[in-house]
Amino acid sequence: MLAIVCPGQGSQTPGFLTPWLELDGMAGLLDEWSTATGVDLTAHGTVSDEATIKDTAVAQPLIVAGGLLSARALGVEALEPRTWVAAGHSVGEITAAALAGVLPGAEALEFVRIRATGMAAAAAAEPTGMSAVLGGDPAEVSAAIEAHGLVAANANGGGQTVAAGSLGALAALAEQPPAKARVVPLKVAGAFHTPYMAPAVPDLAAYADGLRPADPAVALLSNRDGQAVASGREAVDRLVDQVTRPVRWDLCMESLRGAGVTGILELLPGGTLAGLAKRALKGTPTLAVKSPEDLDAARAFIAEHAVAAA
């Protein structure tokens, strides 16, 4: 059984789409998506600098577009549904929903554009951020985050929890970290997956209400609880709720273990989720797609692991 996982915000780097646009059809597809969303994904994926693509309104559509491009290059849409499971971290859950057939690519990108615009505005309203807490006793980490008035916005497994809230509280946590833990600020613009993002919900919910999502064609895991989502409507509703709810990637990985997954393939821009899996799912092979040079290895990886569970 293969797991295809899709990364979240912070995984983007300047120019990461440049080599992909040399592949047949990819430049035209990205131009089509740029026109549909009003976001110049081609420029942001090739020439925009780090500060520009750090902007939430740019970063989120760019990451989803990257994941969908790499999936298209790998022919993911042709895989037998019983042979794989889809999951995505934060905004990557939108990529995963598109791969599972819940939303067409253009609708997924419009969904993420509205999400990103709303979250960027919410982040600008008050100085907030996120920091990874690495190591430490989980109970002590949780207690320290709560004591500083912060929210455990991402439970990522593998000894990593992401705290979110005011910049002052994050600085105080870094000055007094839990025992045997270190606090690393993340390159994001706000306290995502917390009540600070509530202003982003109404416009996204209004757009979601007008969609006619299909039921997932493959098992699609939810960030809320790590469980497979039964219907397309539930999947979309959970994507809306996810804006203000913590991401339980630890539970997603537990579900991958329980499903008998034998290999984890992370789509573009890959690396982060494969790293978490190496720590939390020791012994499970992983492959992160970072450039077109990884495509042959990724195809071989898919052929090896995309097999229906007994």
Which of 44, 148, 193, 305 is flagged as catalytic? 193
Q: Is 166 a catalytic residue?
A: no
Asked if 84 and 70 count as a contact pair (C-beta separation under 8 A), the reply is no
The label of the residue with tokens 């989803």 reads 64
Task: State the Cα–Cα distance between residues 248 and 8, nearest whole angstrom.
Answer: 13
Name 247's Cβ contacts closer than 8 Å, sequence gap at least 6: 8, 89, 90, 153, 154, 155, 156, 193, 223
| Structure-block tokens of residue 164 | 């979110």
Task: State the Cα–Cα distance between residues 238 and 250, nearest whole angstrom.
Answer: 17
Q: Is 193 a catalytic residue?
A: yes
Which of 90, 131, 222, 255 is flagged as catalytic? 90
Task: State the Cα–Cα distance between residues 183 and 299, nearest whole angstrom.
Answer: 37
Name 173's Cβ contacts closer than 8 Å, sequence gap at least 6: 131, 133, 144, 145, 148, 150, 163, 183
Question: Which residues are the active-site residues?
Answer: 90, 193
